[in-house]
Structure 1
């Protein structure tokens, strides 16, 4: 009889035990990766929307200066379509300053409106033509792209080219009026294309970066990463053009330092409250001191 074969037994299975330290490590890495992704995503959102911390455009179809003017579309893009909506406010043809024009660069909020019209009317009444417009993203100008320091400067360049190319205004007959951050845009414009006939800086805004730094949404991120539009005024130190540096309200430390460091010739005027008559008188004094045919320029003293 054949011997029965002994049934072979399988060796016992070894149970693999996961080291809990490895689990904790993987959990920590997962949580860390999720935190980094969330941090970067939030930073990207802040970066894309940081311009709204400073610039607050409106798009009221019924906006405008309210003055008698020629409505304009200029500043074509690569397709040839004009991107900027503006107004040409004409001076009296008999004015000795009728060959001069002002590029009116408004501030960060709203769009061209009646308040701008009041300031523009003062310039017109003093014998100057005025080109006023809304930056892209504002008013009736192109809705996109959104405004930024770089794009607003490009829009100001378009205004300069419109005056010199279409209106045939001589570069040395162009003044720039900049209100708020418009003073920074105007300074940069004249540094590249000027000196022109002069710069009027109305309530220049030196505190853009300070305001952004104070916003809780950007405290966790380097400013150089999330915000690039500081609207600097350092160029005033080197700008040779005659300057009217005008402030309504208290002259704070930051603006005082900027104005004191501005290159001559300059006229600094500070008034406690809005006063149309005083503002117009300051403009008249500045224009009489700088444009040909006026008194001998003496712009260094400060009026308070």
Structure 2
């Protein structure tokens, strides 16, 4: 076989392998985006840290049931509607729940469909439906004024919170270690693929921020090994004012706001300074 024919054959094999890999990425995307590990494993409850809470079985408008917790704080000055990241479940966010309680805020945290003890299978449109059901619960069932609600999104939850903020009128939006969009994240992970053509997900936090009208608090770490620091900076630049950027320290999964008292104070000061006083 001539060298030219061998080279041509090798090129064909590489092209086929590339196409197969790209097709594979297209079909396995839900497994790359969602990590509902420990699906039925609730590792603890607020009771374990001495905080009373209510278990809520939240119904969505398409028939799913979301396992949720409402954690009331004495004489609460705000209510945090919390949307967690793409891994684990609500019981892995105990540090956040304790922080909000200490700051004097109620918290309502949900597990998306397919996570924790919630029914269904996660999807982008599904997480948005879940967010709407959560908003309906706190504003209608609990009678909490939208102006005193803080939408808090962690990582993937940042996109969910920002999406909801474009459709409702919350008092404030917090984005912690959030990305600009799934295609942007995919381009970072697979720079050799036409990710924007292959992506089945948007979660376009950056685009949603163009329509947000409430104050925005963005927190991100330069050491974040999953979501680039530059994406956090881009979200801050796109956000309306008033706004604040908090530079965290540590990786994506250990740079939590609640781990440093000065970070907690910065968040609390921003929330208290930008929400109306309680009635």
TM over 0.5: yes
Match of 1:193 in 2: 168
Match of 1:240 in 2: 213
How far residue 192 of structure 1 moved from its aligned partner, in angstroms, is: 0.6
Q: Following the alignment from structure 2 to structure 1, what is the Cα–Cα distance between the partners of residues 115 and 57?
A: 14
Instruction: Name stretches of at least 5 consecutive residues in structure 2 with no aligned partner.
Output: 1-14, 48-52
Match of 1:137 in 2: 114
Q: Say whether 1:292 aligns with 2:276.
A: yes
Instruction: Name stretches of at least 5 consecutive residues in structure 1 with no aligned partner.
Output: 1-34, 295-304
Question: TM-score under structure 1 normalisation?
Answer: 0.71
Q: Following the alignment from structure 1 to structure 2, what is the Cα–Cα distance between the partners of residues 202 and 222?
A: 24
Match of 2:133 in 1: 158
Instruction: Give the aligned length.
Output: 248
Distance 1:216 1:282, change over 3 A: closer
Q: Following the alignment from structure 2 to structure 1, what is the Cα–Cα distance between the partners of residues 126 and 102?
A: 31
More helix as a share of residues = 2
Distance 1:65 1:89, change over 3 A: farther
Q: Following the alignment from structure 1 to structure 2, what is the Cα–Cα distance between the partners of residues 130 and 75?
A: 18
Match of 2:97 in 1: 120
How far residue 64 of structure 1 moved from its aligned partner, in angstroms, is: 5.5
Question: TM-score under structure 2 normalisation?
Answer: 0.77
Distance 1:87 1:64, change over 3 A: farther
Distance 1:211 1:247, change over 3 A: closer
Q: Following the alignment from structure 2 to structure 1, what is the Cα–Cα distance between the partners of residues 44 and 217?
A: 23
Q: Following the alignment from structure 2 to structure 1, what is the Cα–Cα distance between the partners of residues 218 and 28?
A: 31
CA deviation digits over 1:104-161, x for unaligned, max 9?
A: 00011121234x111121111111111111101111101x23x122211111011001
Choose 178-187 or 241-250, whichever is displaced more.
241-250
Give the superposed CA RMSD.
3.0
Q: Following the alignment from structure 2 to structure 1, what is the Cα–Cα distance between the partners of residues 165 and 60?
A: 21
Q: Say whether 1:170 aligns with 2:137.
A: no
